[in-house]
């Protein structure tokens, strides 16, 4: 009798476990669809802006682990993918995927060489340059721009960055030199009047025919700096802690962000030359219509026929 009760209990436990594993939101493999926003090879993760994953989670942008190195190598920014995501109960893992399209132009995606990048509009401005002339973003609409943020009384990082960009400017090929313009926005406009900026630029050898150092009223520059996503904080000693980052702009859109290291390893030079040679991108005449999965789609089987297949 005791053995029979044990058998019955084992059967009931097995049925209950099976029911739990297949219930909505439980561990299993699910079908999903989304746009690859970024790929972090070092951490073996992919950031995906995905639609509702039926039975698992609502639409959102989130990081997924990618345990399979071959799958990870096939992922790239801007791919529209249909993918199998395994929920282990603790983590969400991309097991396989198929590329079904490209991220849309109207969502800000643009080509940078062979890759797709998610772009944002560059903030508009009307400021004063080192010559005291009023300039606006429209004055540079036909050029590729390299944007940075400095202040002339900076004790170290700003002069180093400016000097590095002067060296970069001098290496620009002749055939694209006039198509590339540098813009340096002041973080300390009360000190950095036009004549101060001109002296700062001249001391470091900047070619001011292709480089504008910009200043203006503090109440105009402060919100503009924030729109660019640059954090800055004045310290008690008067120095300004700020984000050291460079922006490549084409067609009025921020195409990519770079660091000072990219001026040393050649990545920034290559990007500027590439952008300068590229025509300003316009909306495609027609884009492929990407159908959404049917409303009655269900979690994928652990033995999906697509498991192990991925895009290239």
Distances (CA, A) of 157 to 48, 129, 149: 35, 22, 11
What is the tens place of the pLDDT at every residue in 186-227? 999 999 999 999 999 999 999 999 999 999 999 999 999 999
Q: What is the pLDDT of residues 225-244, one digit of tens each?
A: 999 999 889 999 999 999 89
Tell how many helices (H) and how many strands (E) occur in the chain.
8, 17
Token pair, residue 105, equals: 């132009």
SS (H, E, C) 99-111: EEEECCHHHCEEE
Which residue ranges form the domains of the chain, and what is each CATH number? 26-118 (2.40.50.320), 120-277 (3.40.30.10)
Whole-number CA gyration radius for the chain: 26
Integer Cα distance of 124 and 214 in angstroms: 13
For the stretch 68-113, pLDDT in tens is: 999 999 999 899 999 999 999 999 999 999 999 998 888 878 887 7
Mean pLDDT of the chain: 85
Query: pLDDT at residue 62 above 60?
Result: yes
Rounded CA-CA distance 183/299 in Å is 51
């Amino acid at each position: 009798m005791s053995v029979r009760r044990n058998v019955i209990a084992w059967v009931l436990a097995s049925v209950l476990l099976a029911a739990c594993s297949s219930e909505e939101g439980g561990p299993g493999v699910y079908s999903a669809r989304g746009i690859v926003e970024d790929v972090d090879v070092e951490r073996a993760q992919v950031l995906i802006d995905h639609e509702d994953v039926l039975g698992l989670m609502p639409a959102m942008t989130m990081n997924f682990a990618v345990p399979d190195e071959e799958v990870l190598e096939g992922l790239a920014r801007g791919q529209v993918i249909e993918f199998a995501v395994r929920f282990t109960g603790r983590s969400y893992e991309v097991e396989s995927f198929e590329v079904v399209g490209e991220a849309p132009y109207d969502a800000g995606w643009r080509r940078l060489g062979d890759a797709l990048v998610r772009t944002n509009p560059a903030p508009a401005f009307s400021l004063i340059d080192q010559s005291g002339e009023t300039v606006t973003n429209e004055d540079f609409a036909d050029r590729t721009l390299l944007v940075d943020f400095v202040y002339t009384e900076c004790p170290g990082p700003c002069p180093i960055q400016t000097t590095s960009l002067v060296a970069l400017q001098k290496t620009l090929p002749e055939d694209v030199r006039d198509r590339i313009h540098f813009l340096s926005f002041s973080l300390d406009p009360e000190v950095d009047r036009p004549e101060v900026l001109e002296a700062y630029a001249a001391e470091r050898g900047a070619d001011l025919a292709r480089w504008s150092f910009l200043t203006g009223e503090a109440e105009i520059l402060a919100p503009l700096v924030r729109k660019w996503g640059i954090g800055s904080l004045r310290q008690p000693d008067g120095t300004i802690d700020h984000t050291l980052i460079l922006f490549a702009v084409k067609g009025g859109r921020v195409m990519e962000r770079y660091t000072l290291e990219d001026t040393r390893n050649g990545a920034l030079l290559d990007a500027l030359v590439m952008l300068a040679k590229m025509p300003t991108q316009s909306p495609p005449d027609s884009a492929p219509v990407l159908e959404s999965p049917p409303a009655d789609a269900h979690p994928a089987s652990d033995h999906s026929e697509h498991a192990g297949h991925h895009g290239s």
